[in-house]
Structures are given as C-alpha cells and as structure tokens.
Amino acid sequence: MSARTGIFISLEGGEGAGKSTVITALREALAATGREVVLTREPGGTPEGEAIRALLLDPANHLLPDTELLLMFAARAQLVRQVVRPALERGAAVISDRFTDASFAYQGGGRGLDMARIAELERWAAGLKPDLTFLLDVGVAQGLARARARGGEPDRIEREREDFFDRVRATYLARAAAEPARFRVIDAGQPAAAVLAQVLAELSAWLADAP
Ligand code: Z5A
C-alpha cells in the first residue's frame, strides 16, 4: 500500500447502540477541520458490497457460518480497494459504520468461528485497521429494546437469540481491552446527548495527539 495521509475511524457496537446518530456528528466535526470526509458502512459501501449485504441480511437465506464470514470479507475486500485505501491516500477522513472488529465479534464471538482464521482474513482481505475505533457499548436487553422500538422487520442477524448478542458484546469488550490505544469505549446506555458529547470530546483529544 502506498503512503496514507488520511485517518480511518470505525464505529462498532451491538444492536441499537446508536451508531447512526454518532456518525452524523463525527462527520460534521471532521469536516470542520477542513478534511474531506468519506462515510461508508459494512457490510456494503460499494454497489457490489451492497448486493452482498442484501444476501447476508435477507432472512430467507440460510447461510452457513463460514459462508457468512467469507461474504463479510468479500464485501470488505471490495470496499477497502475501491473506497477506503484511495480515500486515505488522498488524505481524507474515512468513517466506517463497522469494520473488521464486527467480524471478530459476530462471526467469532457470536457464531464461534476460529479467531485465528478471522485474523488471517483480516491480513489478506482487509490489510488495514482503523486508526481509531469507537465502541458504543450498551446492555443487550436495552439495545434490543431500542432496535425493536424503531420498528420494521428484523433482518437475518437481528433474529438471533439474546445469548448470541451477549457473546458479541463480550468479544467487543475483550478486543477493546486488548487494544486500548485504538479503542474508545463509550457508555451508550446514556441519553443520546451525553453519548455524543463523550464521542466528540474523545475525538478532539485524539486529533490533538495524532501525529
Ligand atoms: N455484521 C457482522 O455480522 N459481521 C461483520 O463483519 C459486519 C457486520 C461488518 C448489519 O449491520 C449487520 O451485520 C449487523 C452486524 C452484522 N447485525 N446485526 N444485527 P448494521 O450496522 O447495518 O445494523 P445494526 O447494527 O443492526 O444497526 P442498528 O441497529 O441500526 O444500530 P445503530 O445504528 O447503532 O442504531 P441507531 O439506528 O442509531 O439507533 C437505534 C434506535 O435507538 C433508534 O431509534 C435511535 O433513535 C435510538 N437511540 C440511539 N441512541 C439512543 C440513546 N442514547 N438513547 C435512547 N435511544 C437511542
């Protein structure tokens, strides 16, 4: 990969953590620094990745865990090469609604797939990590209640049982504890205004320290 001058920020969390609202505020804060801001999401973010997303989330599909993992990384390979790397090389700030940590949390923690195999895919298919990751952490019951209150039909992954989401949350928290320099864990059980204020304070502190 050629030299990158941009910054890569990801947002992670379980169901109903509030990523959507936070992303809008992050985009505004980064745009105010004069940088180009590129927003993307996973799975998806390219036309091909969005087609893979539809396949992944359609409750009519009975995907095996390995198939699900490989499709997540297929969409990611396309996104990294077509969107993320070119943007970072231009010096943009890239904000991704989820990235590889989600594969460790959902397919590794939730489905029980081998973490070493996911790490191998991370090196090959993704080949980069975010510089900064916000983990919006909310209790599983509280997050699911928010997601249900929003209405609409649950997708294929949202239909999982609560113990699946307990494992997802525990894996996210373990990853954050293992990489404290990259992760900022935010208590997303607070009112939205408090969550936003904490995220924006962490962002300015990080930008002030960034090389
Ligand atoms: N997935 C995977 O398995 N492996 C991978 O590698 C990747 C993803 C990349 C799609 O992701 C699914 O793919 C996802 C993980 C899996 N599966 N699930 N389940 P997604 O990010 O597109 O879908 P999501 O996680 O289901 O998004 P979400 O539920 O929309 O979460 P959110 O964006 O964090 O929530 P929100 O829409 O901002 O907020 C939810 C509601 O709560 C909404 O009505 C808000 O107004 C409300 N809300 C938000 N914050 C608050 C606070 N603080 N207080 C009160 N109410 C609030």
Q: Which atom of ligand 1 is nearest to the CA of 194?
A: 53
Q: What residues contact residue 141 under an 8 Å CB cut-off, 6+ apart? A: 162
33: Cα separation from own chain's centroid: 23
Helix (H, G, I), strand (E, B) or coil at 114: coil
Task: Encode pLDDT of 121-149 as tens digits.
Answer: 999 999 999 999 999 999 999 999 998 89
24: Cα separation from own chain's centroid: 15
Task: Encode pLDDT of 158-189 as tens digits.
Answer: 888 999 999 999 999 999 999 999 999 999 99
Pick out the chain residues at pLDDT < 70: 1-3, 211
CA 62 – ligand 1 centroid, Å? 22
- Choose the residue to mutate in 11, 12, 21, 187 for probing ligand 1, maximizing ligand atoms within 8 Å of C-beta: 21
Q: Is the beta carbon of 20 within 6 A of some atom in ligand 1? A: yes
Within 10 angstroms of residue 210's Cβ, the number of other Cβ atoms is 9
Q: Is the beta carbon of 113 within 6 A of some atom in ligand 1? A: no
- Choose the residue to mutate in 70, 98, 122 for probing ligand 1, maximizing ligand atoms within 8 Å of C-beta: 98
Name the phi and psi angles at 179, rounded to 5.
Answer: -130, 65
